[in-house]
Amino acid sequence: MSGDFATLALALADSAAAFHRRGWMLGTSGNLSAVVSRDPLRLAITRSGVDKGALTPAQVLEVDEAGKVLRGEGKASDETSLHVEIVRKRGAGSVLHTHSVWGTILSDAHAKAGGLTLEGYEMLKGLAGVRTHAHREWLPVLANTQDYGALVNEIAGTLDRQPEAHGLMLAGHGLYTWGRDAAEAKRHVEILEFLFEVRGRLLLAGRG
The site for a second copy (CB under 8 A) is made up of: 18, 22-23, 26-29, 51, 53, 99, 101, 104-105, 108, 120-123, 126, 131-134, 144, 146, 170, 172-174, 183, 186-188, 190-191, 193-194, 197-198, 201-202, 204-207
Q: b/e for 78-106, b at 16 or more Cβ within 10 A?
A: ebbbbbbbbbebbebbbbbbbbbebbbbb
Smallest separation (angstroms) from a second copy to the CB of 194: 5
> In this complex, which beta carbon is closest to a second copy, that of residue 26 or of residue 152?
26
> In this complex, which beta carbon is closest to a second copy, that of residue 61 or of residue 192?
192
Element housing 15 (H / E) = helix 5-21
Are 16 and 77 contacting, i.e. CB atoms less than 8 angstroms apart?
no
Are 50 and 28 contacting, i.e. CB atoms less than 8 angstroms apart?
yes
Smallest separation (angstroms) from a second copy to the CB of 75: 14
Helix, strand, coil % in the chain, rounded to nearest 5: 40, 25, 35
Smallest separation (angstroms) from a second copy to the CB of 200: 8
Smallest separation (angstroms) from a second copy to the CB of 189: 9
